[in-house]
Amino acid sequence: MTLQEALPLIIPLVILEWTLAIVALVHVLKHPNYRFGNKAMWVVIVLFLQLIGPIVYFIFGRGREA
C-alpha cells in the first residue's frame, strides 16, 4: 500500500488525535490546578503521548473547575 492509498485513513486519524491533544492542551493552560503534577508536566504528556496523554489528563489529572 502506498502512502497515497492510506491518506483517506491517515488524514482523519491525525485530525482526531490533534483535536483531542489541543483541547487537552487548552484545558491544561487555562485550569492551573491538577490532582497531581504541574503545568509543564501535563503540557508534555498531553502533546507527546498521543491519544493516551489527553485521556490520562482528562480522567486522572484534571483538577476541580474553579
Neighbours of 34 (CB within 10 A): 17
Cβ proximity to other proteins, 23 vs 44, nearer residue:
23
Which range touches other proteins (CB under 8 A), out of 16-24, 28-36, 37-45? 16-24
Place of cell 483517506: 8
Q: Which three cell numbers stand for residue 34?
A: 491538577
* Nearest distance, CB of residue 13 and other proteins, angstroms: 5
Largest CA distance in the chain: 50
Say whether residue 53 binds other proteins (CB under 8 A): no
Region 18-47 residues binding other proteins, contact defined as CB under 8 A: 19-20, 23, 27
